[in-house]
Structure 1
Amino acid sequence: MRWGLGGVLLCVPLLIALAGPWFAGEPVPRGASFGSGSFLGTDFVGRDVWRQVLLGGRTVVMVALAATALTFLMGTPLGLLTAMTRRRWLDELLMRPLDLLLAIPSLLMLILLAAVAPPGPLTLVAVVALIGLPEVARISRAAALEIAARPAMEAMRLQGESWWRRAFGYVGRSMLRTLLADLGVRVVGAIYLVATASFLGVGVSPDADDWAVMVDRNRTGMFLQPWGVLVPALLIVALSVGLNLLFDGTRRSRGEAT
Protein backbone atom coordinates (compact mmCIF):
# COMPACT_ATOMS: atom_id res chain seq x y z
CA MET A 1 0.00 0.00 0.00
CA ARG A 2 2.80 2.40 0.93
CA TRP A 3 4.67 1.64 -2.28
CA GLY A 4 1.48 2.19 -4.31
CA LEU A 5 0.70 5.53 -2.66
CA GLY A 6 4.29 6.64 -3.08
CA GLY A 7 4.19 5.69 -6.76
CA VAL A 8 1.00 7.68 -7.34
CA LEU A 9 2.28 10.74 -5.48
CA LEU A 10 5.55 10.57 -7.39
CA CYS A 11 4.13 9.93 -10.86
CA VAL A 12 1.84 12.95 -10.95
CA PRO A 13 4.53 15.66 -10.48
CA LEU A 14 7.05 13.67 -12.53
CA LEU A 15 4.70 13.37 -15.49
CA ILE A 16 3.82 17.05 -15.32
CA ALA A 17 7.49 18.03 -14.99
CA LEU A 18 8.79 15.84 -17.83
CA ALA A 19 5.85 15.84 -20.26
CA GLY A 20 4.31 19.20 -19.37
CA PRO A 21 6.42 21.35 -21.72
CA TRP A 22 5.23 19.27 -24.68
CA PHE A 23 1.60 20.15 -23.90
CA ALA A 24 2.09 23.75 -22.77
CA GLY A 25 1.51 25.15 -26.23
CA GLU A 26 2.30 28.65 -27.36
CA PRO A 27 2.05 31.54 -24.90
CA VAL A 28 -1.26 33.36 -24.92
CA PRO A 29 -1.72 37.11 -24.47
CA ARG A 30 -1.39 38.14 -20.86
CA GLY A 31 -4.47 39.10 -18.89
CA ALA A 32 -5.05 40.88 -15.62
CA SER A 33 -2.88 39.97 -12.65
CA PHE A 34 -4.43 37.29 -10.43
CA GLY A 35 -7.42 37.02 -12.72
CA SER A 36 -9.75 34.07 -13.25
CA GLY A 37 -10.11 34.03 -17.00
CA SER A 38 -8.45 30.64 -17.58
CA PHE A 39 -8.42 27.13 -16.08
CA LEU A 40 -6.32 28.04 -13.00
CA GLY A 41 -6.42 31.78 -13.44
CA THR A 42 -3.48 34.09 -14.07
CA ASP A 43 -0.33 34.82 -12.08
CA PHE A 44 1.21 38.05 -10.80
CA VAL A 45 2.01 39.30 -14.31
CA GLY A 46 -1.11 37.95 -16.01
CA ARG A 47 0.32 34.69 -17.39
CA ASP A 48 -1.75 31.51 -17.54
CA VAL A 49 -1.08 29.60 -14.29
CA TRP A 50 -1.79 26.19 -15.86
CA ARG A 51 0.78 26.81 -18.58
CA GLN A 52 3.32 27.89 -15.96
CA VAL A 53 2.62 24.70 -14.00
CA LEU A 54 3.28 22.60 -17.11
CA LEU A 55 6.56 24.43 -17.74
CA GLY A 56 7.78 24.88 -14.18
CA GLY A 57 8.65 21.38 -12.95
CA ARG A 58 11.50 20.43 -15.21
CA THR A 59 14.04 22.64 -13.43
CA VAL A 60 13.22 21.29 -9.97
CA VAL A 61 13.21 17.63 -11.03
CA MET A 62 16.16 17.61 -13.43
CA VAL A 63 18.44 19.76 -11.27
CA ALA A 64 17.65 17.71 -8.14
CA LEU A 65 18.27 14.37 -9.89
CA ALA A 66 21.45 15.59 -11.58
CA ALA A 67 22.78 17.04 -8.32
CA THR A 68 22.03 13.81 -6.43
CA ALA A 69 23.77 11.71 -9.09
CA LEU A 70 26.81 14.00 -9.01
CA THR A 71 26.88 13.86 -5.21
CA PHE A 72 27.02 10.06 -5.18
CA LEU A 73 29.52 9.93 -8.05
CA MET A 74 31.90 12.10 -6.00
CA GLY A 75 31.06 11.05 -2.45
CA THR A 76 30.92 7.25 -2.77
CA PRO A 77 34.43 6.75 -4.24
CA LEU A 78 35.80 9.29 -1.76
CA GLY A 79 34.28 7.47 1.22
CA LEU A 80 35.43 4.13 -0.15
CA LEU A 81 38.98 5.39 -0.65
CA THR A 82 39.28 6.79 2.89
CA ALA A 83 37.88 3.58 4.40
CA MET A 84 40.18 1.29 2.42
CA THR A 85 43.40 3.24 2.75
CA ARG A 86 46.02 2.18 5.28
CA ARG A 87 47.48 5.70 5.32
CA ARG A 88 46.03 7.67 8.21
CA TRP A 89 47.25 10.99 6.82
CA LEU A 90 45.28 10.45 3.59
CA ASP A 91 42.09 9.82 5.55
CA GLU A 92 42.64 13.01 7.54
CA LEU A 93 43.53 15.01 4.43
CA LEU A 94 40.35 14.05 2.61
CA MET A 95 37.79 13.97 5.42
CA ARG A 96 38.67 17.00 7.57
CA PRO A 97 37.82 19.59 4.87
CA LEU A 98 34.49 17.81 4.39
CA ASP A 99 33.84 18.07 8.13
CA LEU A 100 34.34 21.84 7.84
CA LEU A 101 31.83 22.00 4.98
CA LEU A 102 29.40 19.95 7.05
CA ALA A 103 29.57 22.52 9.86
CA ILE A 104 28.28 25.29 7.58
CA PRO A 105 24.45 25.48 7.34
CA SER A 106 23.31 24.28 3.93
CA LEU A 107 21.19 27.35 3.23
CA LEU A 108 24.08 29.70 4.05
CA MET A 109 26.43 27.71 1.82
CA LEU A 110 23.85 27.73 -0.96
CA ILE A 111 23.59 31.53 -0.87
CA LEU A 112 27.35 32.07 -0.59
CA LEU A 113 28.31 29.72 -3.40
CA ALA A 114 25.57 30.85 -5.74
CA ALA A 115 26.50 34.48 -5.12
CA VAL A 116 30.02 34.04 -6.53
CA ALA A 117 29.09 31.67 -9.39
CA PRO A 118 27.32 32.52 -12.64
CA PRO A 119 23.56 31.90 -12.46
CA GLY A 120 22.07 28.95 -14.27
CA PRO A 121 21.02 25.30 -13.88
CA LEU A 122 24.58 23.95 -14.09
CA THR A 123 25.68 26.22 -11.25
CA LEU A 124 22.71 25.07 -9.17
CA VAL A 125 23.57 21.42 -9.84
CA ALA A 126 27.19 21.95 -8.77
CA VAL A 127 26.24 23.89 -5.63
CA VAL A 128 23.61 21.38 -4.45
CA ALA A 129 26.00 18.49 -5.16
CA LEU A 130 28.78 20.16 -3.17
CA ILE A 131 26.44 20.70 -0.22
CA GLY A 132 25.47 17.01 -0.17
CA LEU A 133 29.01 15.71 -0.72
CA PRO A 134 30.19 15.66 2.93
CA GLU A 135 27.24 13.61 4.19
CA VAL A 136 27.39 11.08 1.34
CA ALA A 137 31.15 10.69 1.79
CA ARG A 138 30.80 10.13 5.53
CA ILE A 139 27.99 7.60 5.13
CA SER A 140 29.94 5.75 2.44
CA ARG A 141 33.05 5.73 4.62
CA ALA A 142 31.16 4.43 7.66
CA ALA A 143 29.54 1.64 5.63
CA ALA A 144 32.82 0.71 3.95
CA LEU A 145 34.76 0.59 7.25
CA GLU A 146 32.51 -2.12 8.65
CA ILE A 147 32.70 -4.19 5.47
CA ALA A 148 36.47 -3.72 5.09
CA ALA A 149 37.01 -5.16 8.58
CA ARG A 150 35.39 -8.49 7.70
CA PRO A 151 37.55 -11.66 7.51
CA ALA A 152 36.60 -12.04 3.85
CA MET A 153 38.62 -8.94 3.02
CA GLU A 154 41.75 -10.36 4.63
CA ALA A 155 41.20 -13.65 2.83
CA MET A 156 40.93 -11.83 -0.51
CA ARG A 157 44.13 -9.93 0.23
CA LEU A 158 46.02 -13.13 1.07
CA GLN A 159 44.77 -14.69 -2.15
CA GLY A 160 46.36 -11.85 -4.10
CA GLU A 161 43.17 -10.06 -5.20
CA SER A 162 43.84 -6.54 -6.47
CA TRP A 163 42.90 -3.46 -4.47
CA TRP A 164 40.35 -2.45 -7.09
CA ARG A 165 38.63 -5.83 -6.96
CA ARG A 166 38.50 -5.77 -3.17
CA ALA A 167 37.38 -2.15 -2.99
CA PHE A 168 34.79 -2.00 -5.77
CA GLY A 169 34.03 -5.66 -6.36
CA TYR A 170 33.41 -6.60 -2.72
CA VAL A 171 33.15 -3.52 -0.48
CA GLY A 172 31.41 -1.33 -3.05
CA ARG A 173 28.88 -4.00 -3.93
CA SER A 174 28.19 -4.72 -0.26
CA MET A 175 27.51 -1.02 0.34
CA LEU A 176 24.70 -0.83 -2.21
CA ARG A 177 21.91 -1.49 0.29
CA THR A 178 23.12 1.29 2.59
CA LEU A 179 23.48 3.70 -0.31
CA LEU A 180 20.01 2.82 -1.58
CA ALA A 181 18.57 3.54 1.86
CA ASP A 182 20.25 6.94 1.79
CA LEU A 183 19.36 7.75 -1.81
CA GLY A 184 15.76 8.72 -1.12
CA VAL A 185 16.80 11.11 1.64
CA ARG A 186 19.40 12.72 -0.64
CA VAL A 187 16.96 13.25 -3.52
CA VAL A 188 14.40 14.84 -1.19
CA GLY A 189 17.13 17.03 0.31
CA ALA A 190 18.21 18.09 -3.17
CA ILE A 191 14.61 18.95 -4.09
CA TYR A 192 14.37 21.04 -0.93
CA LEU A 193 17.59 22.92 -1.74
CA VAL A 194 16.66 23.48 -5.39
CA ALA A 195 13.19 24.70 -4.43
CA THR A 196 14.66 26.95 -1.73
CA ALA A 197 17.18 28.40 -4.16
CA SER A 198 14.45 29.09 -6.70
CA PHE A 199 12.19 30.56 -4.00
CA LEU A 200 15.00 32.93 -2.94
CA GLY A 201 15.92 33.74 -6.53
CA VAL A 202 19.37 32.16 -6.19
CA GLY A 203 20.65 30.86 -9.52
CA VAL A 204 17.39 31.48 -11.40
CA SER A 205 15.74 34.55 -12.86
CA PRO A 206 12.88 36.09 -10.87
CA ASP A 207 10.34 35.36 -13.63
CA ALA A 208 11.59 31.85 -14.52
CA ASP A 209 9.17 29.04 -15.32
CA ASP A 210 9.70 27.25 -12.03
CA TRP A 211 7.34 25.86 -9.39
CA ALA A 212 9.21 27.42 -6.47
CA VAL A 213 9.43 30.78 -8.21
CA MET A 214 5.66 30.57 -8.77
CA VAL A 215 5.11 30.08 -5.04
CA ASP A 216 7.30 33.06 -4.22
CA ARG A 217 5.98 35.47 -6.83
CA ASN A 218 2.30 34.62 -6.51
CA ARG A 219 2.05 34.57 -2.71
CA THR A 220 1.18 38.28 -2.65
CA GLY A 221 -2.10 37.41 -4.41
CA MET A 222 -2.80 34.27 -2.42
CA PHE A 223 -6.28 35.44 -1.36
CA LEU A 224 -7.13 36.71 -4.85
CA GLN A 225 -5.93 33.72 -6.90
CA PRO A 226 -4.68 30.84 -4.70
CA TRP A 227 -3.98 28.32 -7.50
CA GLY A 228 -0.75 30.01 -8.51
CA VAL A 229 0.62 29.12 -5.07
CA LEU A 230 -1.27 25.99 -4.05
CA VAL A 231 -0.77 23.90 -7.20
CA PRO A 232 3.04 24.23 -7.51
CA ALA A 233 3.46 23.91 -3.73
CA LEU A 234 1.38 20.71 -3.65
CA LEU A 235 3.34 19.29 -6.59
CA ILE A 236 6.64 19.87 -4.77
CA VAL A 237 5.24 18.27 -1.60
CA ALA A 238 3.85 15.29 -3.57
CA LEU A 239 7.23 14.80 -5.25
CA SER A 240 9.08 14.75 -1.91
CA VAL A 241 6.59 12.58 -0.02
CA GLY A 242 6.20 10.20 -2.96
CA LEU A 243 9.96 9.67 -3.18
CA ASN A 244 10.21 8.96 0.55
CA LEU A 245 7.34 6.46 0.48
CA LEU A 246 8.66 4.79 -2.66
CA PHE A 247 12.18 4.29 -1.32
CA ASP A 248 10.82 3.21 2.06
CA GLY A 249 8.67 0.59 0.35
CA THR A 250 11.63 -0.58 -1.71
CA ARG A 251 13.79 -0.97 1.39
CA ARG A 252 11.06 -2.94 3.16
CA SER A 253 10.67 -5.24 0.16
CA ARG A 254 14.41 -5.86 -0.02
CA GLY A 255 14.52 -6.48 3.72
CA GLU A 256 11.71 -9.03 3.57
CA ALA A 257 13.35 -10.72 0.57
CA THR A 258 16.56 -11.21 2.50
Structure 2
Amino acid sequence: MVKRTLGWSLLAVPLVLAMAGPMIAGPVESVGAPWQVPGAAHPLGTDVLGRDALTVVLAGGFPVIGMTAAALVLAYLIGVPLGLVAAGRGRLADETVMRSLDLVLAFPSLLVLMVLAATGHRGPGVLIPVVAVLQLPAITRVVRAAALAPGCRTAVEALTLQGQPWWRIQFGYVARHLAGPVATDAGTRLGVVLYLLASANFLGLGLPADSPDWAVVIERNSEALYTSPAVVLVPAALLMALCVGTNLVTDRLLAARRVIA
Protein backbone atom coordinates (compact mmCIF):
# COMPACT_ATOMS: atom_id res chain seq x y z
CA MET A 1 0.00 0.00 0.00
CA VAL A 2 2.80 2.43 0.95
CA LYS A 3 4.75 1.59 -2.22
CA ARG A 4 1.69 2.16 -4.40
CA THR A 5 0.87 5.50 -2.75
CA LEU A 6 4.48 6.65 -2.92
CA GLY A 7 4.83 5.71 -6.57
CA TRP A 8 1.67 7.48 -7.71
CA SER A 9 2.51 10.53 -5.59
CA LEU A 10 6.02 10.84 -7.01
CA LEU A 11 4.68 10.45 -10.54
CA ALA A 12 1.74 12.80 -10.07
CA VAL A 13 3.68 15.80 -8.76
CA PRO A 14 5.87 16.46 -11.84
CA LEU A 15 3.06 15.52 -14.24
CA VAL A 16 0.57 17.88 -12.60
CA LEU A 17 3.14 20.68 -12.50
CA ALA A 18 4.02 20.09 -16.16
CA MET A 19 0.37 20.29 -17.25
CA ALA A 20 -1.02 22.94 -14.89
CA GLY A 21 2.14 24.93 -14.18
CA PRO A 22 2.24 26.99 -17.40
CA MET A 23 -1.34 28.14 -16.83
CA ILE A 24 -0.55 29.62 -13.40
CA ALA A 25 3.08 30.62 -13.88
CA GLY A 26 2.56 33.93 -15.63
CA PRO A 27 5.17 35.49 -17.94
CA VAL A 28 8.69 34.10 -17.66
CA GLU A 29 10.81 37.25 -17.69
CA SER A 30 13.65 38.91 -15.84
CA VAL A 31 12.56 40.43 -12.54
CA GLY A 32 15.87 41.18 -10.84
CA ALA A 33 19.53 40.34 -10.49
CA PRO A 34 20.75 36.81 -11.28
CA TRP A 35 20.90 34.20 -8.55
CA GLN A 36 19.20 36.10 -5.76
CA VAL A 37 18.66 34.04 -2.63
CA PRO A 38 15.10 32.97 -1.77
CA GLY A 39 12.97 35.64 -0.15
CA ALA A 40 9.42 36.91 0.19
CA ALA A 41 9.29 38.23 -3.37
CA HIS A 42 10.95 35.15 -4.90
CA PRO A 43 10.41 31.98 -2.81
CA LEU A 44 13.02 30.01 -4.78
CA GLY A 45 15.25 32.95 -5.65
CA THR A 46 16.13 33.91 -9.22
CA ASP A 47 17.95 32.05 -11.96
CA VAL A 48 20.95 32.97 -14.12
CA LEU A 49 18.79 35.30 -16.24
CA GLY A 50 17.24 37.03 -13.23
CA ARG A 51 13.89 35.29 -13.67
CA ASP A 52 11.78 34.20 -10.72
CA ALA A 53 12.83 30.57 -10.16
CA LEU A 54 9.36 29.47 -9.02
CA THR A 55 7.82 30.82 -12.24
CA VAL A 56 10.50 29.06 -14.27
CA VAL A 57 9.86 25.75 -12.50
CA LEU A 58 6.10 26.04 -13.03
CA ALA A 59 6.54 26.80 -16.72
CA GLY A 60 9.33 24.37 -17.54
CA GLY A 61 7.95 20.87 -17.05
CA PHE A 62 5.93 20.37 -20.21
CA PRO A 63 8.81 20.69 -22.72
CA VAL A 64 11.10 18.08 -21.15
CA ILE A 65 8.32 15.63 -20.28
CA GLY A 66 6.68 16.08 -23.67
CA MET A 67 9.93 15.51 -25.57
CA THR A 68 10.79 12.50 -23.41
CA ALA A 69 7.38 10.93 -23.94
CA ALA A 70 7.51 11.59 -27.69
CA ALA A 71 10.97 10.04 -28.04
CA LEU A 72 9.98 6.96 -26.01
CA VAL A 73 6.73 6.40 -27.89
CA LEU A 74 8.48 6.75 -31.26
CA ALA A 75 11.26 4.37 -30.20
CA TYR A 76 8.83 1.66 -29.07
CA LEU A 77 6.58 2.09 -32.10
CA ILE A 78 9.59 1.18 -34.25
CA GLY A 79 11.51 -1.12 -31.89
CA VAL A 80 8.69 -3.49 -30.92
CA PRO A 81 7.78 -4.45 -34.52
CA LEU A 82 11.48 -4.82 -35.39
CA GLY A 83 12.00 -7.17 -32.44
CA LEU A 84 8.97 -9.23 -33.43
CA VAL A 85 10.17 -9.48 -37.03
CA ALA A 86 13.66 -10.52 -35.90
CA ALA A 87 12.18 -13.22 -33.68
CA GLY A 88 9.58 -14.53 -36.10
CA ARG A 89 10.88 -14.31 -39.66
CA GLY A 90 13.78 -16.71 -39.52
CA ARG A 91 17.55 -16.46 -39.36
CA LEU A 92 18.00 -14.14 -42.35
CA ALA A 93 15.58 -11.53 -41.00
CA ASP A 94 17.07 -11.89 -37.53
CA GLU A 95 20.61 -11.30 -38.76
CA THR A 96 19.57 -8.41 -41.01
CA VAL A 97 17.70 -6.55 -38.28
CA MET A 98 20.17 -7.15 -35.47
CA ARG A 99 23.34 -6.48 -37.47
CA SER A 100 21.83 -3.29 -38.87
CA LEU A 101 21.07 -2.10 -35.35
CA ASP A 102 24.58 -3.03 -34.25
CA LEU A 103 25.76 -0.25 -36.55
CA VAL A 104 23.67 2.22 -34.57
CA LEU A 105 24.98 0.74 -31.33
CA ALA A 106 28.56 1.31 -32.51
CA PHE A 107 28.14 5.09 -32.32
CA PRO A 108 28.23 6.57 -28.80
CA SER A 109 25.10 8.57 -28.09
CA LEU A 110 26.91 11.69 -26.94
CA LEU A 111 29.15 11.61 -30.03
CA VAL A 112 26.06 11.57 -32.25
CA LEU A 113 24.63 14.56 -30.37
CA MET A 114 27.93 16.44 -30.66
CA VAL A 115 28.08 15.85 -34.42
CA LEU A 116 24.52 17.10 -34.83
CA ALA A 117 25.30 20.19 -32.77
CA ALA A 118 28.45 20.88 -34.83
CA THR A 119 26.54 20.60 -38.11
CA GLY A 120 23.76 22.93 -37.01
CA HIS A 121 20.99 20.33 -36.83
CA ARG A 122 19.04 21.30 -33.74
CA GLY A 123 15.57 21.68 -32.27
CA PRO A 124 12.93 19.23 -31.03
CA GLY A 125 12.08 18.15 -34.58
CA VAL A 126 15.62 16.77 -34.95
CA LEU A 127 16.31 15.78 -31.36
CA ILE A 128 13.25 13.58 -30.76
CA PRO A 129 13.77 11.19 -33.72
CA VAL A 130 17.54 11.04 -33.10
CA VAL A 131 17.08 10.06 -29.45
CA ALA A 132 14.44 7.52 -30.51
CA VAL A 133 16.80 5.94 -33.04
CA LEU A 134 19.58 5.75 -30.45
CA GLN A 135 17.26 3.64 -28.24
CA LEU A 136 16.29 1.19 -30.99
CA PRO A 137 19.09 -1.38 -30.54
CA ALA A 138 18.37 -1.92 -26.84
CA ILE A 139 14.58 -1.94 -27.26
CA THR A 140 14.71 -4.36 -30.18
CA ARG A 141 16.96 -6.73 -28.25
CA VAL A 142 14.59 -6.73 -25.26
CA VAL A 143 11.58 -7.48 -27.47
CA ARG A 144 13.44 -10.14 -29.45
CA ALA A 145 14.64 -11.88 -26.28
CA ALA A 146 11.13 -11.86 -24.79
CA ALA A 147 9.64 -13.19 -28.04
CA LEU A 148 12.20 -16.02 -28.10
CA ALA A 149 11.52 -17.08 -24.50
CA PRO A 150 10.72 -20.80 -24.14
CA GLY A 151 7.10 -20.20 -23.21
CA CYS A 152 6.47 -18.11 -26.30
CA ARG A 153 8.38 -20.45 -28.61
CA THR A 154 6.31 -23.48 -27.60
CA ALA A 155 3.07 -21.68 -28.41
CA VAL A 156 4.55 -20.27 -31.63
CA GLU A 157 5.52 -23.74 -32.82
CA ALA A 158 2.02 -25.04 -32.09
CA LEU A 159 0.39 -22.15 -33.96
CA THR A 160 2.79 -22.61 -36.88
CA LEU A 161 1.81 -26.27 -37.14
CA GLN A 162 -1.81 -25.13 -37.31
CA GLY A 163 -0.96 -23.10 -40.41
CA GLN A 164 -1.16 -19.63 -38.87
CA PRO A 165 0.86 -16.95 -40.77
CA TRP A 166 3.93 -15.57 -39.02
CA TRP A 167 2.60 -12.02 -38.77
CA ARG A 168 -0.58 -13.16 -37.02
CA ILE A 169 1.44 -15.24 -34.57
CA GLN A 170 3.98 -12.52 -33.80
CA PHE A 171 1.70 -9.48 -33.75
CA GLY A 172 -1.39 -11.28 -32.49
CA TYR A 173 -0.18 -13.80 -29.91
CA VAL A 174 3.43 -12.97 -29.00
CA ALA A 175 2.89 -9.21 -28.80
CA ARG A 176 0.29 -9.69 -26.06
CA HIS A 177 2.91 -11.32 -23.85
CA LEU A 178 5.43 -8.49 -24.17
CA ALA A 179 3.68 -6.01 -21.87
CA GLY A 180 5.79 -6.94 -18.83
CA PRO A 181 9.25 -6.77 -20.43
CA VAL A 182 8.41 -3.66 -22.45
CA ALA A 183 6.91 -1.81 -19.46
CA THR A 184 9.90 -2.66 -17.28
CA ASP A 185 12.30 -1.54 -19.97
CA ALA A 186 10.38 1.69 -20.56
CA GLY A 187 10.50 2.57 -16.87
CA THR A 188 14.29 2.34 -16.75
CA ARG A 189 14.76 3.83 -20.24
CA LEU A 190 12.96 6.97 -19.16
CA GLY A 191 16.04 8.03 -17.20
CA VAL A 192 18.32 7.33 -20.17
CA VAL A 193 16.21 9.50 -22.46
CA LEU A 194 16.08 12.31 -19.90
CA TYR A 195 19.88 12.17 -19.64
CA LEU A 196 20.27 12.38 -23.42
CA LEU A 197 17.87 15.30 -23.69
CA ALA A 198 19.66 17.14 -20.90
CA SER A 199 23.00 16.50 -22.62
CA ALA A 200 21.58 17.76 -25.91
CA ASN A 201 20.42 20.97 -24.26
CA PHE A 202 23.88 21.39 -22.73
CA LEU A 203 25.36 21.15 -26.26
CA GLY A 204 22.87 23.67 -27.61
CA LEU A 205 21.16 21.04 -29.72
CA GLY A 206 17.77 21.05 -28.07
CA LEU A 207 15.79 23.96 -26.69
CA PRO A 208 17.03 27.58 -26.58
CA ALA A 209 19.29 28.62 -23.71
CA ASP A 210 16.57 30.88 -22.28
CA SER A 211 13.94 28.11 -22.24
CA PRO A 212 12.37 27.40 -18.81
CA ASP A 213 12.70 23.66 -19.52
CA TRP A 214 13.81 21.89 -16.33
CA ALA A 215 16.82 20.24 -17.97
CA VAL A 216 17.98 23.56 -19.45
CA VAL A 217 17.49 25.33 -16.12
CA ILE A 218 19.59 22.74 -14.28
CA GLU A 219 22.43 23.05 -16.79
CA ARG A 220 22.37 26.86 -16.98
CA ASN A 221 22.32 27.31 -13.18
CA SER A 222 24.75 24.55 -12.17
CA GLU A 223 27.32 27.15 -11.07
CA ALA A 224 24.88 28.45 -8.47
CA LEU A 225 24.39 25.07 -6.76
CA TYR A 226 25.98 26.32 -3.52
CA THR A 227 24.95 29.98 -3.60
CA SER A 228 21.37 29.57 -4.89
CA PRO A 229 20.66 25.83 -4.69
CA ALA A 230 16.86 25.90 -4.99
CA VAL A 231 16.91 26.84 -8.67
CA VAL A 232 18.92 23.67 -9.39
CA LEU A 233 17.65 21.23 -6.78
CA VAL A 234 13.91 21.76 -7.28
CA PRO A 235 13.80 20.89 -11.02
CA ALA A 236 16.34 18.11 -10.42
CA ALA A 237 14.11 16.67 -7.69
CA LEU A 238 11.09 16.83 -10.00
CA LEU A 239 12.92 14.92 -12.74
CA MET A 240 14.09 12.36 -10.19
CA ALA A 241 10.54 12.00 -8.88
CA LEU A 242 9.34 11.40 -12.43
CA CYS A 243 11.86 8.59 -12.98
CA VAL A 244 11.41 6.91 -9.58
CA GLY A 245 7.64 7.28 -9.62
CA THR A 246 7.39 5.77 -13.10
CA ASN A 247 9.39 2.72 -12.04
CA LEU A 248 7.43 2.23 -8.81
CA VAL A 249 4.09 2.50 -10.59
CA THR A 250 5.25 0.15 -13.34
CA ASP A 251 6.40 -2.44 -10.79
CA ARG A 252 3.11 -2.18 -8.93
CA LEU A 253 0.97 -2.57 -12.07
CA LEU A 254 3.00 -5.57 -13.25
CA ALA A 255 2.73 -7.21 -9.82
CA ALA A 256 -1.06 -6.71 -9.84
CA ARG A 257 -1.23 -8.15 -13.36
CA ARG A 258 0.64 -11.27 -12.24
CA VAL A 259 -1.74 -11.73 -9.29
CA ILE A 260 -4.78 -11.46 -11.58
CA ALA A 261 -3.22 -13.87 -14.07
> Does 1:6 pair with 2:10?
no
The counterpart of 2:258, out of the listed 240, 252, 255, is 255
**Pick aligned residue for 2:232 from 229, 232, 236:** 229
Deviation at 1:29, TM superposition (A): 5.2
Instruction: List structure 1 runs of 4+ shifted beyond 6 angstroms.
Output: none
Deviation, 1:54, is 1.0
Residue 181 of structure 2: aligned partner: 178
User: What is the aligned partner in structure 1 of residue 211 from structure 2?
Assistant: 208
Choose the corresponding residue for 1:43, options 43, 47, 51: 47
Q: Secondary structure at the match of 1:5?
A: helix
1:148–1:256 CA distance, 2 compared to 1 (3 A): closer
Task: Identify if the C-alpha distance between structure 1 residues 85 and 114 changes in structure 2 by more than 3 Å, giving closer, same or farther.
Answer: farther
Q: Distance in 1 between matches of 2:100 and 2:30?
A: 52
What is aligned with 2:35?
Answer: 34
Shift of residue 38 of structure 1? 1.7
Question: Does the alignment pair 1:71 with 2:75?
Answer: yes
CA offset digits 1:187-232 (Å, max 9, x no partner): 2221222223224433222221211211122222333322211111
Q: % of aligned pairs identical?
A: 46
Give me the whole-angstrom Cα distance separating, in 2, the residues matched to 1:243 and 1:116: 35
Which whole-Å CA distance do the structure 2 matches of 1:174 and 1:146 have between them?
10
Mapped to 1, the partners of 2:191 and 2:137 lie a distance apart of 16
Gaps of 5+ in 1: none
What amino acid is aligned across from residue 70 of structure 2 in structure 1?
A
Equivalent in 122, 125, 138 of residue 122 of structure 1: 125
Question: Does the 8 Å contact 1:114/1:123 carry over to 2?
Answer: no
Moved more, 174-183 or 66-75: 174-183
Aligned residues: 257
So what's the TM-score if we normalise by structure 2?
0.89
Instruction: State the alpha-carbon separation in 2 of the partners of residues 225 and 166 from structure 1.
Output: 57
8 A Cα contact 1:211 1:233, kept in partner: yes
Cα distance change of structure 1 residues 28 and 90 upon mapping to structure 2, 3 Å threshold: closer
Deviations 1:100-120 (A, max 9, x none): 322333322333345446321
AA partner of residue 209 (structure 2): P
Counterparts of 1:114 and 1:171 in 2: how far apart (Å)?
A: 40
2:99 equivalent among 71, 86, 96: 96
Distance across 1 between alignment mates of 2:157 and 2:11: 44
User: 2: distance between equivalents of 1:117 and 1:72?
Assistant: 27
SS of structure 1 residue aligned to 2:33: coil
Contact 1:144 1:171 in 2 (8 A): yes
Two-structure CA RMSD over aligned residues (Å): 2.1
Q: Given that residues 84 and 148 in structure 1 are in contact (C-alpha distance below 8 angstroms), is that contact kept between their aligned partners in structure 2? A: no
TM-score (norm 1): 0.90
